[in-house]
């Protein structure tokens, strides 16, 4: 199985996707991917109830054909043993679950013809000497580890797994590193890779990037999980289509408005304040190609630093919006007029009004909705025709959910987390076929404050049993007999 996102960016780096008027390279690659699905060459793996294809696989017969053609045409050489010598005509080398020793054939072989070097779940004692590669376009180390890395007591640039001579890979388009790569650092010479298009370091353990990254004018995708991103000069990175950064400083926002080609934006802020959020929302207005926005801010229990942004954030292409940070209420710009194509919405709120669910119900394309609301989600008595395409609903810290006829008629999965109280939870509306005719799965978690007092603990357990019994009964009498998962969770006082 292959993750679609990474696969398409590999195609871009290999030169299989070509520019088309009005479309980015990733969008062209997506069209190729969909064509392969339509022709049954690859099989899509869809995230349940989300209408999102996140991975793909191939039938065994197709896989055998791929292996045969790859070997016959010397397209890819797959090495599964440290003793396997790659052919002199090898253009693409794939290594899976190997131990790469100091004197291993793969590590020391001169690979002047190799265009793509892919290592998956390998254990390195030494990296191949990068200066051996003359035509490399793709360098990918996925879920790899370095053995004995803690035993070395030397400068990082002297480690045998340091990216020494990285700047000599003048044809490199794709650099991807993930998982347990201790003490690995990116050298300043990365700025010399003027053709680099994809820098995938989201799970690499690398702590910082050199300022020379700001010289990568052809960069289209940057995923990085480290910090100190505010020091980079973003004015030259105007080709970026996808950007994911962790521990972002407020200084980063100064250059955000220049990245007008962005389709995907994923930001994690180490802290938040009122002005930071307003500044971010104000700059997003200029990024009209955005399709995905994920903003995560580590917040305290007090939501006061967040205030609503009163401006208009009209993004006609936006399909996915996640705001993980406690907002006092539903922002005014989250409505079907500003975001007409929104399909997936997830957010954390302090409180909701009854009209808020009515506003959300007008999103005609909404497929998934996840709301974490401290004070509970308020369901109005009537919302006829609301949420016409919603397939997945997740409510956390919610009060009594109430479903009515003609609302969420396409709902297939309902996830619920609620605090049980003395009055219990009655799931009667969940049981009526005409209310949720498409329901297939229910996942519920009941929370209760048990404390140390035995009477409180016994009362909470009793409330849990009552809520579970009500939910079980509702599921059993529903004509679809949806699958049920229920559990209880203790909360501290």
The H-or-E segment that residue 463 falls in is helix 454-477
Minimum mean pLDDT range among 49-53, 213-217, 321-325: 321-325
Given a cut of 50, is residue 374 above it in pLDDT?
A: yes
φ, ψ at 458 (rounded to 5°)? -65, -40
Mean pLDDT of the chain: 81
52-61, 83-92, 432-441, 480-489, range with the lowest pLDDT:
83-92
Question: Are 136 and 171 within 8 A, CB to CB?
Answer: yes
Write out pLDDT tens, residues 240-257: 999 998 877 777 787 888
Residue 148 has pLDDT above 60, yes or no: no
What is the mean predicted confidence (pLDDT) over 346-350? Answer: 89
170 Cβ contact list (under 8 Å, min separation 6) = 192, 193, 194, 195
Decide which of 90 and 361 is more confident.
361
- Nearest-10 crossing angle of helices 4-14, 25-38: 110
pLDDT of residue 340: 94
pLDDT for 161 equals 54
CB neighbours of residue 468 within 10 Å = 18
The greatest distance separating any two alpha carbons of the chain, rounded to the nearest whole angstrom, comes to: 76
Lowest mean pLDDT across 80-89, 354-363, 408-417, 481-490 = 80-89
Beta strands in 238-391 (DSSP E): 242-248, 264-269, 292-297, 320-327, 344-349, 368-373
Label each residue of 179-216 as H, E or C: CCCCCCCCCHHHHHCCCCCEEEEEECCCCCCCHHHHHC
Partners of residue 348 on adjacent β-strands? 372
Position 82 confidence tier, pLDDT thresholds 50, 70, 90: very low
pLDDT tens readout for residues 275-304: 677 778 778 888 889 999 998 876 555 545
* Domain locations in the chain as residue ranges: 1-73, 385-493
Q: What are the residues whose beta carbons fall under 8 Å from the beta carbon of 423, sequence distance 6 or more?
A: none
pLDDT at 182: 56
440-481 pLDDT, tens digit per residue, is 999 998 887 666 577 777 777 888 888 888 888 889 999 999
**Whether the Cβ atoms of residue 130 and residue 108 lie closer than 8 Å to each other:** no
pLDDT for residue 395 is more than 80: yes
Average pLDDT over residues 28-39: 94
Predicted pLDDT at 66 = 87
């Amino acid at each position: 199985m292959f993750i679609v996102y990474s696969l398409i960016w590999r195609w871009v780096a290999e030169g299989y996707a070509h520019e088309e008027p009005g479309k980015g390279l990733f969008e062209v690659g997506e069209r190729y991917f969909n064509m392969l699905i339509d022709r049954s060459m690859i099989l899509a793996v869809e995230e349940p109830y989300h209408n999102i294809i996140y991975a793909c696989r191939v039938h065994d017969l197709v896989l055998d054909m791929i292996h045969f053609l790859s070997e016959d045409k010397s397209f890819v050489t797959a090495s599964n043993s440290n003793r396997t010598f790659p052919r002199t005509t090898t253009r693409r080398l794939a290594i899976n679950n190997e131990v790469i020793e100091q004197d291993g054939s793969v590590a020391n072989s001169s690979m002047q013809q190799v265009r793509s070097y892919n290592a998956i779940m390998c254990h390195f004692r030494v990296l191949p000497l990068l200066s051996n590669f003359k035509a490399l376009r793709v360098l990918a180390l996925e879920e790899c580890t370095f053995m004995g890395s803690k035993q070395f007591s030397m400068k990082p640039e002297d480690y045998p797994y340091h990216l020494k001579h990285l700047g000599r890979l003048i044809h490199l388009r794709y650099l991807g590193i993930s998982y347990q790569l201790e003490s690995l650092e990116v050298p300043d010479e990365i700025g010399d890779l003027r053709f680099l298009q994809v820098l995938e370091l989201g799970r690499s353990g690398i702590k910082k990037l050199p300022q020379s990254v700001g010289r990568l004018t052809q960069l289209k995708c940057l995923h990085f999980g480290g910090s100190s991103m505010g020091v980079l000069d973003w004015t030259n990175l105007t080709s970026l289509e996808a950007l994911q950064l962790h521990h972002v400083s407020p200084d980063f926002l100064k250059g955000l408005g220049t990245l007008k080609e962005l389709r995907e934006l994923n930001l994690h802020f180490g802290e938040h304040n009122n002005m930071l959020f307003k500044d971010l929302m104000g700059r997003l207005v200029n990024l009209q190609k955005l399709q995905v926005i994920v903003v995560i801010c580590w917040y305290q229990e007090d939501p006061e630093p967040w205030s609503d942004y009163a401006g208009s954030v009209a993004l006609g292409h936006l399909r996915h919006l996640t705001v993980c940070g406690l907002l006092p209420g539903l922002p005014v710009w989250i409505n079907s007029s500003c975001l007409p194509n929104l399909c997936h919405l997830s957010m954390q709120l302090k409180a909701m009004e009854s009209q808020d669910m009515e506003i959300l119900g007008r999103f005609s394309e909404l497929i998934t909705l996840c709301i974490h609301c401290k004070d509970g989600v308020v369901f109005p008595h009537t919302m006829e025709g609301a949420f016409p395409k919603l397939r997945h609903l997740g409510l956390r810290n919610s009060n009594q959910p109430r479903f009515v006829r003609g609302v969420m008629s396409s709902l297939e999965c309902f996830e619920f987390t609620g605090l049980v109280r003395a009055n219990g939870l009655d799931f009667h509306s969940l049981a009526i076929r005409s209310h949720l005719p498409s329901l297939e799965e229910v996942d519920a978690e009941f929370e209760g404050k048990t404390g140390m007092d035995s009477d409180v603990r016994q009362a909470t357990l009793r409330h849990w049993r009552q809520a579970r019994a009500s939910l079980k009964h509702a599921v059993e009498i529903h004509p679809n007999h949806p699958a049920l998962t229920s559990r209880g969770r203790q909360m501290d006082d």
